[in-house]
Structure 1
Amino acid sequence: MKNSERKENKVFRELLRLVPGLETRLMESSEEQVISIADMIQKGANSARADDTKGMKSAIIDWITPRGQSLTPHIHRNVKSGRGFNHERTGALLCPAGLDWANTEIKAKLVGGQIQVAGDQWPLLLYANYTYDAEDPWNGLLRSGLLVNAFKHIFTSPSSVDQEPKATRSGNARIHGMRSVTRASITYVATQARFALTSAQVFSRSDLVTDSERFYNTILELLNDPDEREEVELLMTWWNR
């Protein structure tokens, strides 16, 4: 079985676990009905992702604005053109680890597009205090405050970001029986947060500018790498605390 087939099989098994009665329904359905069921599941996933993308676009501006201050120039909550490497704050967070945003030459090349950032060049927004440790790449990786806020926003409730639970309905995690943070949920949140900071208008897996699919896959591959098990277990313990 190819690696991609193994991944798909794992996702399918998880889907059967999450949706009671789905396996029986599939086994009893005609080919046409199976295609219809798959279509409905895909539409539901697309709709949920679109809701997350829309909510994050606005909320992330609050999280990256220093308390009691304002961003200069101002970033509109519902407009993306002023984000990405076009803005000092979002540019610093999107700057690939190992590159110095404070270096005027590097900054100019990122702004001008002479440096193209691939999905496997992870940005500083993933690291605690937005600081990359070249001597220890695991130090602070996937532990930034921005990611924690993004996770709460999507899986608990938007109001839980401020630690003031005002929501009157259960969050996504509780609704779907999610009792702990998962590798895939961290990866998904990182992908959504990164996209929200870019100037890209439409979330698309085939978008070569944001290269979101490669970004998502490379993080998930690291978190599922048996050789990194010890570091990943420490990371999962940190998140679940």
Structure 2
Amino acid sequence: MPRDENDPPISTGRQAHESALQFAPRKKPCHADPLVHHGRHFGRTVHALCNVQALITNGILRLGELADEPEETFTAEERREHRVFRSLLQMVPGLEERLMTGEAEDAVTVAELVQKGAASARSDDTKSLKTAVLDWITPRGQPLNPPLTRNVKIDRGYHHERTGALLCPAGLDWANNEVKEKLRSGEMTVSGDQWPIFLYSSYNYDPEDPWNGLLRSQILVSAYKHIFTSPSSVDREPKATRSGNARIHGMTRVTPASIAYIATQVRFALCSSPVFSRTDTVTDSERFYNTVQDLLDDPEEKEEVDQLMTWWNR
């Protein structure tokens, strides 16, 4: 099956080269299948850009014929992939038994439905935030100057003073005309592993303490409420996991992966690219998402990450 630009990256974990899963006939996914519903939550809170079929194929191997392999034989990335697989099993009642006792065709169908749910959630959220983000970046009681179109993004990104200032990499000075012009012309390229200033509380970056205010900005909180509770909750005080999508899925706490997901969605909403694509070298969304995930999963950053999660779940 050919891949399009919305397909997630192929997993880099241990592959099953001759797995029957790769050759099993596919059933047409059912839109109402509960696995699509679970897939939406999986994409938002566990991993937005993984290849679910590769994830399941490798996960079954780890539970089956590779179960006796010492943990040290697996790379850090393979171990992380298996944690994601375990999270999926915990999210869907009866899934482990279905995968381990069912036919190869069942595993393919499960992967297809979960992938469909994750992709549809990402698409819905991208569309919704494209409009909503303009309300959050407009100064209270004042219009944006020049105004931004709500349904067309070509005038966003570094082309506009407000979105450009928010997307400007931390450590660079947007007020510097030379920096601004290089960003606008593309002479200065920004990769996905560079933090934009909108990630920081009050949009201030402290080079002496890079964790100071990181992933605590108001625009991230607004976007989190918009997606996980409801659009109308943004201007109110309820916790981000008390209603809406969070309540539907029994979510009681903010997850690190969901913060990375929201940060990626806000970054894309502010940029000028019209279509979310992991292969877009301008937005470099996949690298950005993975960079945030890597930071929040780094054992050496545990103390700071714990403080961040306490802040989000307060």
The one of 177, 180, 195 equivalent to 1:122 is 195
**How many residue pairs are counted as aligned between the two chains?**
238
Against the structure 1 CA distance between its residues 131 and 164, is the aligned structure 2 distance closer, same or farther, given a 3 Å change threshold? closer
Residue 109 of structure 1: aligned partner: 182
Give the superposition deviation at 1:183. Answer: 0.6
Q: Is the 8 A contact 2:170 2:195 kept in 1?
A: yes
CA–CA distance in 1 between the matches of 2:134 and 2:126?
13
CA–CA distance in 2 between the matches of 1:22 and 1:133?
45
CA–CA distance in 1 between the matches of 2:104 and 2:144?
54
The one of 123, 129, 142 equivalent to 1:69 is 142
SS in 2 for 1:97: coil
Residue 135 of structure 1: aligned partner: 208
> Aligned Cα RMSD in Å?
1.4
Q: Is the 8 A contact 1:128 1:142 kept in 2?
A: yes
Residue 52 of structure 1: aligned partner: 125
CA–CA distance in 1 between the matches of 2:237 and 2:152?
27
Residue 188 of structure 1: aligned partner: 261
CA–CA distance in 2 between the matches of 1:123 and 1:10?
29
Residue 98 of structure 1: aligned partner: 171
Select the structure that is richer in helix: 1
CA–CA distance in 1 between the matches of 2:81 and 2:286?
15
Q: Is the 8 A contact 2:228 2:243 kept in 1?
A: no
Give the superposition deviation at 1:40. Answer: 1.0
The one of 206, 217, 236 equivalent to 2:309 is 236
Give the superposition deviation at 1:2. Answer: 2.1
Q: TM-score, normalised by structure 2?
A: 0.74
CA–CA distance in 1 between the matches of 2:275 and 2:285?
11
Structure 2 residue identity aligned to 1:45:
A
The one of 93, 105, 128 equivalent to 1:20 is 93
CA–CA distance in 2 between the matches of 1:238 and 1:17?
25
Instruction: Give the ranges of 4+ consecutive aligned residues of structure 1 lying more than 2 Å apart after TM superposition.
Output: none
Q: Is the 8 A contact 2:246 2:252 kept in 1?
A: yes
Q: TM-score, normalised by structure 1?
A: 0.95
Structure 2 residue identity aligned to 1:181:
V
CA deviation map 1:126-147 (0-9, x unaligned): 0001111111111111010000
Structure 1 residue identity aligned to 2:310:
T
Residue 155 of structure 1: aligned partner: 228
Structure 2 residue identity aligned to 1:153:
H
CA deviation map 1:78-111 (0-9, x unaligned): 1110100000000000000000000000000000
CA–CA distance in 1 between the matches of 2:230 and 2:149?
22
CA–CA distance in 2 between the matches of 1:22 and 1:10?
15
Q: Say yes or no: does 1:176 pair with 2:227.
A: no
CA–CA distance in 2 between the matches of 1:155 and 1:37?
24
Structure 2 residue identity aligned to 1:187:
A
CA–CA distance in 2 between the matches of 1:219 and 1:164?
26
SS in 2 for 1:78: coil
Between the aligned residues of both structures, percent identity stands at: 67
CA–CA distance in 2 between the matches of 1:61 and 1:175?
27
The one of 193, 199, 210 equivalent to 2:283 is 210
Give the superposition deviation at 1:28. Answer: 2.9
SS in 2 for 1:75: coil
Q: Is the 8 A contact 1:18 1:176 kept in 2?
A: no
Q: Structure 2, unaligned stretches of length 5 or more? A: 1-73
CA–CA distance in 2 between the matches of 1:89 and 1:38?
41
Q: Structure 1, unaligned stretches of length 5 or more? A: none
Give the number of the structure whose alpha-carbon radius of gyration is greater. Answer: 2
Give the superposition deviation at 1:3. Answer: 2.7
Give the superposition deviation at 1:170. Answer: 4.3
